Every structure is written in structure tokens, then in C-alpha cells.
A and B are shown apart, each in its own frame.
Chain A
């Protein structure tokens, strides 16, 4: 059904044809974008799953050591020993452009490079399990950072894919068919007008011809009567 508001004029037809061309071009480009995004997204999401599994496992191990440590030590001492961290982390964030989506990339640097520096306490009053827990956490931290990067990337990509998919579908199933329908409607209407015009001209010509014949006949009739 063509929308009732369109004018069946030649100008409208040219305009619509131009729009249809743009829409088809846009549709093709968006489709390519969607496919490429999807490809990248699948890679990211696979890595995300694997990394998340690993991080969760390692964190559980760290937690269990920590639980044992907190059972062996009094809460005050535990809190005291972790109160002032020796280590500090600074995070740099840059952006990478994946198919017009900005995704973050993190780079962190610690204040001291020595891995032994993570223990902010003396060993005399703390239990060995606390050392284990801190050690496990410091090892999993690298993966946690990577997880943050990948998970954010996958979320942002998912959003963009959803948007692009909607656009592609709207163009493919609504916009383009509608425009084609309208173009067809205008062409038909214009053709119809053209035919009506031709018929009208033929009719007029017929009438003129008939009149001329009538006139000629009367003239000849008058001429024969005069000659008699």
C-alpha cells in the first residue's frame, strides 16, 4: 500500500528514486558492518568466556586461602596487616576503534616492580595462608584486568551489533519495500495520466474531423443547389 500522502508527480518520482538508491547503498554498507562486527564479537566473546572461567577459579582459590587466614588470625590483626598497602596501581586507558566502536584498552603499572613487595605486613604475626591469598590475588590480577577489558569490549560490541542489526532490518524490510511500492505507484499513476491524455487528444481529433467532414458536406450540398 503506498502511503496516501505522496504526490504522483515527476519531481517526487526523481526524489524517491534518489532516496531508494541511497537506502540500498546504506543497507549494503550496514550489512557489511554488521557481519564484520559479528566476526570480531565472536572472537571476543569466546575469549571472554575462557578468561572469566579462569579468573573465577583462581579467585575462589584466593578466597579460600583468605578464609582460612581470617579464621586463624584475629580480625583486628588481619585488618591491621592489610591496612596500608605497599603497592599501588595506576591505570592508563587508551581507546581502540573497532568498526567505529570505541573500546577501552587498559595498561597498568605498579609502583614497585618487585613481586615480593605485595606483602604489606611483617611475617611474624600473620599466618602463611594470608601470604598464599595475597600471592594468588596478585597473580590473578593481570587476568582480571584483561577480563575487564574484554568484557567491556564485548558489551560495547553487543550494543553496536544490536543497533546495526535493527537498522539493517528496518531498511531491508520496511524502508526499501515502502519506497519501491511508492515508486511503482507513481509510475503507474503517471502512465495512466499519459494514456488518459492520449485518449483525450484522439477524441478531440475525432470530433474536429467529424466537424470538418460535416462542414465539407454542407458546402458541397450548397454548391450543387446553386448550380441547379
Chain B
């Protein structure tokens, strides 16, 4: 049985607790990095990560990009979307096709 976790600053992620997801409130990028490494070893299938943290954790995200689990999915934090999630979709297209054709 796999689990789902949400990583981000506490104001952004607290609400997910009511859905029954594992919430991991962190206050800086270092804590988030530790949390990602720990959860990747345990049986977490999906990690939702706020974009605010993701902007500082590019190497960690890239590391798990080609792995089957966990899927690290970026969500906007409470400050709003930074467009990193969308940019990643664009990057995937560029990687596959060689040019952004969408």
C-alpha cells in the first residue's frame, strides 16, 4: 500500500491534512530536502511539493524525474503559482521533441 505526502510551508499544506494525506510542514529548503530523501526510501508514491520550495530543490527533483516512484508533483503554495510546474511540462516536450511545439 502506497502513501501520499504533501511537503511545503505549514500554511500551504495544513489543509491537506483533513483529506488524510501525510503532511510534512517544513520551514526551509534543507528540511524539505531531508524529507524528500526520507520519503523516497519509504513507500511514498506521490510527493506534492510547493513551487516555492521546488525552486530551490531542482537537483533533487531532477534526480527522481526518471524514477518510477516517487512522482514529485509541484503545486502552487499559498503565495501563488510561480509557473515552474508549467515550465516543467514545457521542458518535457522540449526534451522529447527537441523543440517546444505546443
Contacts and interface: CB of A to CB of B under 8 A. Distances in A.
User: Would you call the interface of chain A mostly helix, strand, loop, or mixed?
Assistant: helix
A158 B18 contact: no
24 contacts: A38-B97, A46-B102, A52-B86, A53-B86, A55-B75, A56-B75, A56-B81, A56-B85, A62-B15, A63-B15, A66-B15, A82-B17, A90-B2, A91-B1, A91-B46, A93-B45, A106-B46, A111-B20, A137-B19, A144-B48, A148-B46, A149-B71, A154-B89, A156-B66
B75 to A, nearest CB: 6
Contacts of B89: 45, 48-49, 52, 151, 154
Interface in B67-87: 68-69, 71, 73, 75-78, 80-81, 85-86
B13 to A, nearest CB: 10
Nearest to A81: B18
A115 to B, nearest CB: 11
Contacts of A152: 68, 71, 73
Contacts of A67: 11, 78
B35 interface: no
Interface string A50-82: 001101100110110011001000000011001
Given A49-B89, A147-B73, A151-B89, A137 B46 contact: no
A144 B15 contact: no
Contacts of A91: 1-4, 45-46
Contact of A145 (B46, B77, B81, B88): B46
A92 B66 contact: no
Interface residues of A, number: 61
Most buried by B among A48, A141, A152, A161: A152
Contact of A52 (B4, B69, B85): B85
A106 B19 contact: no
A138 B17 CA distance: 10
Given A87-B18, A91-B4, A110-B20, 5 more contacts: A45-B93, A66-B14, A106-B45, A144-B75, A151-B73
Interface of A: 38, 41, 45-46, 48-49, 52-53, 55-56, 59-60, 62-63, 66-67, 70, 78-79, 82-83, 85-93, 95, 102, 104, 106, 108, 110-111, 118-120, 133-134, 137-138, 141, 144-145, 147-149, 151-152, 154-159, 161-162, 165
B102 A49 contact: yes
A92 to B, nearest CB: 7
B11 A70 contact: yes
Contact of A158 (B68, B85, B95): B95
B64 to A, nearest CB: 9
Contact of B86 (A49, A82, A133): A49
A48 B74 CA distance: 13
A8 to B, nearest CB: 39
